[in-house]
A and B are shown apart, each in its own frame.
Chain A
Amino acid sequence: QVQLQQSGPGLVTPSQTLSLTCAISGDSVSSNSAAWNWIRQSPSRGLEWLGRTYFRSKWYSDYAVSVKSRITINPDTSKNQFSLQLNSVTPEDTAVYYCTRDRDASHSRINYFDYWGQGTLVTVSS
């Protein structure tokens, strides 16, 4: 049974960096078939895929155009987890953030999310 456990602050100051971590149990961040994603949800933007990281002989990352200049998703193989960093946040980045597993991913396929973290409400406010 795969479990994803999110951690990170629920309040971030505008212009600062949002940082979240997702610890994986029951699978490996270095899986050759899965990809590890971040998705957020807000009333104004609905569900929004932010990006992913995955390992296929080397590490890859893909990001949504809307956040590409501000986002980094990194794996941490020593702790079997991955992280999200979103720079220069504004109140529009206020959302519930989820980490997810895409079990059947490839370079040309972002497929489906079979496991989700518990969600973290991140509020951007001074």
Chain B
Amino acid sequence: QSALTQPASVSGSPGQSITISCTGTNSDVSAYNYVSWYQQHPGKAPKLMIYDVSYRPSGVSNRFSASKSGNTASLTISGLQAEDEAYYYCSSYTSSTTLVFGGGTKLTVL
């Protein structure tokens, strides 16, 4: 099962908005509404930011939003803050009764 495709890096200035894409196939992203997004700071475990394509867990800022269209899911962070600088990973359930992650995107807050 191939990994989902994410850009290696994105950047933005404080206060700006950025979007990270996550491209899959007809066997994962487009087939199921089980796309999640995780934030990972260096040396820490990933943290769930979005589940079921667009739902935020309790405690996650509403500056984080997400959506899906066809084979591509997207995570948008608005009002960028320095603390948002981290790696972001998407994941999706697949038709093979397995789960696949994206390769990760490094977000730099300039």
Q: Which residues of A contact B (CB under 8 A)?
A: 46-49, 62, 64-65, 98, 104, 108-114, 116-119
| B: contact size bracket | 20 to 34
CB-CB contacts of B84-105 with A at 8 A, as 1s and 0s? 0000010101001111111110
**CB–CB A111/B34 < 8 A:** yes
B residues with CB within 8 A of A: 1, 3, 32, 34, 36, 38, 45-48, 51-52, 57, 89, 91, 93, 96-104
Residue of B nearest to A114 (CB): B48
Chain A positions within 8 Å of B98 at CB level: 49, 62, 64-65, 110
* Closest Cβ–Cβ distance, residue B97 to chain A (whole Å): 6
Q: Are B97 and A108 in contact (CB under 8 A)?
A: yes
- Bound together, the chains give a CA A107 to CA B76 distance in angstroms of 31
Given contacts A112-B52, A116-B45, contact A65 B96 (CB under 8 A): yes
Q: Which residue of A lies closest to B100 (CB)?
A: A49
CB pair A65–B93 under 8 Å, yes or no, is: no
Query: In the bound complex, do residue A112 and residue B34 qualify as a contact, i.e. CB atoms below 8 Å apart?
Result: yes
Least Cβ distance of A97 to chain B in Å? 11
- Taking a contact as CB atoms under 8 Å apart, the answer to whether B97 and A62 are in contact is yes
